Amino acid sequence: MKYFTKELYEEMQIRGYLVFPETKKDWEDDIAWHLSEGLNFEEIRRCNLEDKKEHLLKYLPAFFHPYIQDGTINSQFPSDELRKMADQWKMKYDERTKAIGVTYRNYYESIKGSLPEFVIQLIDKSLHDAEITSIEIPSKDMFIMTLDCRGGYHYLTDVRLTFTGVKNVQPTNLSVGSGWLYDEVYLTETGFELHVLLDGPLMEFTISAKNVNIEIIS
């Protein structure tokens, strides 16, 4: 991926981590809810921080690190200082990701008229949150992927993508159950190259082909 990279996706999760309760009452109500459900608020927060710690330290500036190391980034109601730092970081992140989106969209619009009809449909009718249910490679120049789109934005049923004139596929051993996150398409001399960021595990899938057919399976 040139634009919507694994790193950008990981950073996106960190951005969500820096959304704090608006008021002290909201914070106390959250604690009270956990207690009413028999849940250990402190332990859940500790485990959540441990799960995210590597990426928090990787993507957040050094002035966040003391809050991460001592656990106060999510174990206490945020101080005014922490909230201000988080708001500033999120604003810069949002500006950067918006610029990345505009840059890719401008590139896509510049090549759209040269892409096959179904490639355009593939991008314009996003497969975000669709789940891979099967992979077939009937020949060296054909690749078939079936997806369950019921949790997505379009189709809302099973869809079969048949890539023809395939020149390259990396990797070929995709995991059934992987989720479709983001995609990018590039124009090539022989057709197009599709890059897809998948989750479960987080990885990039790339396929170069001459064309693709989209079949809705009812």
Please provide the DSSP assignment of 145-189 as one string: EEEE-TTSSS--SEEEEEEES--EEE-S-PPTTPEEEEEEEEEET
- The pLDDT of residue 148: 96
- The pLDDT of residue 174: 86
What is the rounded average pLDDT for all residues in the chain?
A: 95
Residue type for 194, please? Answer: L
Residue 114 DSSP class: G
Give CA–CA dist 126/114, Å, rounded: 19
Task: Kindly report, residue by residue over 14-46, the tens digit of the pLDDT.
Answer: 999 999 999 999 999 999 999 999 999 999 999
Give CA–CA dist 64/58, Å, rounded: 11
CA atoms within 13 A of residue 83's CA, in its CB half-sphere: 10
- The pLDDT of residue 101: 94
Tokens (6 digits) for 56: 């928090």
* Residues lower than pLDDT 50 in the chain: none
Q: Nearest 5°: phi and psi at 125?
A: -105, 85
